[in-house]
Structure 1
């Protein structure tokens, strides 16, 4: 079974390869997505290391002058996807979106490099200053009082998770006009964000577009602004990994280490005492999200020790069978099949497991690996899975789920 799944995972990555970049899956996502692409590179590194480095190099080839690496790169026009480059108007050639996505590149690039330092030295040497520039962009344009923020739910990578309900409620989506979604033509609408969500997503895009994607204005004037513990913990871990890469390359990493300390010092500011967990905060309304989910679980990735989080994690985890749910199973908004409102994501399980490994939680790492592997055996290489029964949800033949099988879940 494992050998068959190994072969199928490689087949999926090769099938989604568009020559220098990988699409998440055929049809539903026909372009290069930022963090999907880096996970695909990690998967390629297990059987085609040169191709893996090309994936990240292609991603960073669209880096903006200010250092931002966009969340979508529209390499080829595909009328089957909405909203496309004509809606975003993010500039560039190829055109891009106007926002970014969680900065996992340094985390996974370090893992790739450690797999074969000689083969990856030229690539990591060229990528290092570009990753530094991207991290600088995050610090200058997406960190407020030491805490990472997002200006669009899509920037978090967790589009419709309950974290954003407060912030989205303050976005007026009534004037976006008529549009035709394409995502619900590929997968069950009950597994996707609702129309009211899309109305507001588009309103935020139109606001950024009207500002010419001036990132200072987007941060100050955009209709959505929430702190995001998930992005914060990813960025903090990425800073630590970037500094480690820089030291190995003989670079001066004082600036990167300083950014890491800024982020680390702000971790207590993300603690919601009423929730008893790390939580998102709406800077527009001054309200906590009051949601226990992925943002809190990624504290392990950043090496954050917190006994209270251990207790909250085990309680939520024990309510499901396959991996860690993306929202609290006891929460009122929990839905085991709707995108980021409850399903288990192999890719998030892998990031959380990297945290378990970092912190010496060997039993948790083994359990999460086993449950994720079982989930993939039951539901295949789906975009995400129902955490109660392992059934497939979202898109099929998904690149990053295949990558997670090859790099972590399917390995003894």
Structure 2
């Protein structure tokens, strides 16, 4: 299967280290929850294989005998139930109180597990995903006593939406959730179950079972969620749970070994290894398979935030690079999901959704697509991918110069398609950054406006994209095109260093078109180091500012605005002070590029040690407070996870 090929390739091309197992990484992320409100989704959950539903572990003994959920997703997320199938057991006519059981619950990569010991029984529950629509849950009861037991087994649950009623067809229960959404509980056809249904509640009772001493009983069910009309062939043929578990184990061990054996640093520190696994879990839980108007699989920024239920271009480029270490096929799909909606002029949408009417074409995002394509290609080695995507990358690159260079001087600006200031700020990816506070909109053509501000990061990204386009052209045997791309870099490099580098201050700044400097220092100032267009003297000056305690070298380093700026406000300012791990990556990568490995390593140590919960069981956040390390905004954030994978592999600690 594909994951075996990935693993073999990663070992042969990279380092060869001892193999790891998912059993080595229990509970890198703490899962524990009890649903009180259907739309309160801010908790750690588990999903896999691009499924559109997720689960978590119980928060207390009151939910022994079940997993929590599912949480279902489309344009918004909500909990379908606290539990759709809670186990109840009678032994020899007496009800067993599962709340009094000796219990343990664990989250392993790709697997939820609960173990109960009570009244001479061992009860094991396991949950994994077997397709992009289906989870499989096994209940196994073992008689640990020395005598036979007569058991009566029940499963039951209720949906949180009282108006939704269960319907039954044999041993399958289904709930029509409206708008094509449907949830199914499929108990084994051969299981002798007696059902009692009452609107949104049900109980399924298995007839009396005689369980001999030392013997086990097991039963597996499927929980399926469809967000569009279910096709007749949509159901996966059910295999025994042990066979699915074997496949699941091999796939997840493949992911882990692919990453740890990939080219780059040999990650030996146990805390850093657990951070890496947590990052993989975050990305895989945010994976959504193609559905409705999403034509390829992709990755949500975060399934814990209602506003992030789609695929974003900037996020997708970054996520794809991180994912390519362990799942190149998904990385490619994530990139293609955005190019599915590239318009006839070459523009790539800011974000796309299951309902394409919701797609945001008011703006795009900073150009990192060729960077992502090339790095994914180096791990996927798919020539068809390069061949098919290259013309689209060229069209996207040229679009910037046709639609975002107001004065036609070869330096681009962020802008919008609808003439709104807010969309132009969004296009920067740094929505409310202080550096844009003075900017105004200028009309370029009927469908293009630019800010009256030329941005150093945008033009540094475009400079880097030319190099990656050249690499792709070389790989495709288009040597003349590769030379042409590299020829463009020379003039642009000179322009950027002349126009944006402030020699007296030793940093790169945006400038308004009237040539006045923007008096704010942020990550845009170190992007030229990442792009490799600064000279050694300029790089040293930028490094010095990055290492100043009063500016960027805060408790959690490299905030998006210097700590000494009067408008520095991490708690209220989305891009006005918080630390974003993508910008940390660009900064540390840039330092390394110019030989400042020691400084980069120290800043990374501070990041890993001081970001709240990162070294423990906490979620990976969208951003962090630079003075306290507190996690801010969305939890389980994909591009943060992707950049942690890059940082750990690329940085020498």
Match of 1:162 among 427, 434, 437: 434
Is the 1:165–1:289 Cα contact (8 Å) retained in structure 2? no
Q: What residue in structure 1 maps to residue 581 of structure 2?
A: 346
Post-superposition CA distance 1:27-65 (Å, at most 9, x none): 131121111011111222122111111111111111111
> What's the offset of the Cα at 1:121?
2.5
C-alpha root-mean-square deviation of aligned residues, in Å?
A: 2.6
Counterpart of 1:56 in structure 2 is 335
Q: CA deviation at 1:300?
A: 0.6
Unaligned residue ranges in structure 1 (runs of 5+): 78-83, 86-94, 172-203
How many residues of Structure 1 are paired with residues of Structure 2 in the alignment?
A: 349
Counting only pairs closer than 5 Å after superposition, residues 88-107 of structure 1 correspond to structure 2 as 95-107=359-371
Structure with bigger helix share is 1
Q: Aligned residue for 2:474?
A: 247
Contact 1:297 1:352 in 2 (8 A): yes
Tell me by how many angstroms 1:396 deviates: 0.7
Contact 2:453 2:510 in 1 (8 A): yes
Correspondence 1:406 to 2:635: no
- 1:397 maps to 2:636: yes
The reply on whether 1:22 has 2:299 as its aligned counterpart is yes
**Is contact 2:276-2:648 (8 Å) kept?**
no
Matches of 2:649 and 2:579 in 1, distance apart?
16
1:266 is displaced (CA, Å) by 1.0
Conserved 8 A contact 1:328-1:334: yes
Q: What CA distance in whole angstroms lies between the structure 2 residues aligned with 1:357 and 1:124? A: 28
Give the corresponding residue for 1:194.
none
CA distance in structure 1 between the aligned counterparts of 2:597 and 2:354, rounded to whole angstroms: 41
Q: Who is 2:164 aligned against?
A: none
1:352 to partner: Cα distance: 2.2
Q: Give the corresponding residue for 1:32.
A: 311
SS across alignment from 1:253: helix
Cα 1:319/1:14, change in 2 over 3 Å: closer
Distance 1:254 1:319, change over 3 A: closer
Match of 1:261 in 2: 490
Helix, strand or coil at the partner of 1:383:
strand
Task: Name the structure 2 match of 1:68.
Answer: 347
Structure 1 residue aligned with 2:510: 280
Counterpart CA distance in 1 for 2:276 and 2:521 is 34
The SS at the match of 1:96 is coil
CA distance in structure 2 between the partners assigned to 1:109 and 1:357 by the alignment: 22
What are the ranges of 5 or more consecutive residues in structure 2 without an aligned counterpart? 1-270, 290-296, 416-423
Q: Deviations over 1:3-26 (max 9, x none)?
A: 443333222212222211211112
Residue number in structure 2 paired with 1:377: 615
8 Å contact from structure 1 (residues 373, 410) kept in 2: no
Residue correspondence of structure 1 range 202-241 to structure 2 within 5 A: 214-215=447-448, 218-219=449-450, 224-241=451-468
Shift of 1:105: 1.6
* Structure 1 counterpart SS, 2:412: strand
Whole-Å separation in 1 of the counterparts to 2:361 and 2:525: 28
Helix, strand or coil: the match of 1:334? coil
Displacement of 1:76 after TM fit? 2.9
**Aligned partner (choices 550, 567, 589) of residue 333 of structure 1:** 567
Question: Which residue of 1 is the match for residue 524 of structure 2?
Answer: 295
Q: Does 1:140 align with 2:140?
A: no
Q: Cα 1:241–1:371, aligned 2, differ >3 Å: closer, same or farther? A: farther
TM-score, normalization by structure 1: 0.77
Contact 2:526 2:590 (C-alpha < 8 Å) held by counterparts: no
SS at match of 2:615: helix
Q: Is the 8 A contact 1:36 1:400 kept in 2?
A: yes
Distance 1:318 1:141, change over 3 A: closer
Q: 1:287 to 1:114 in 2, by over 3 A?
A: same
Aligned partners of 1:315 and 1:271: how far apart in 2? 19
Of structures 1 and 2, the one with the larger relative CO (CA 8 A, separation 6+) is 1
Provide TM-score, normalisation by structure 2.
Answer: 0.50
In structure 2, how many angstroms separate the alpha carbons of the residues matched to 1:43 and 1:246? Answer: 23
- Between the aligned partners of 1:320 and 1:24, the Cα distance in structure 2 is 26
Q: Secondary structure at the match of 2:280?
A: helix
1:113 matched to 2:377? The reply is yes
Change beyond 3 A, Cα 1:125–1:372: farther
State which of 276, 280, 286 in structure 2 corresponds to 1:10.
280
Q: Distance in 1 between matches of 2:468 and 2:602?
A: 25
Is the contact made by 1:229 and 1:280 (CA closer than 8 Å) also made in structure 2? Answer: yes
Change (3 A) 1:237 1:154: same
Tell which structure's C-alpha radius of gyration is larger. Answer: 2
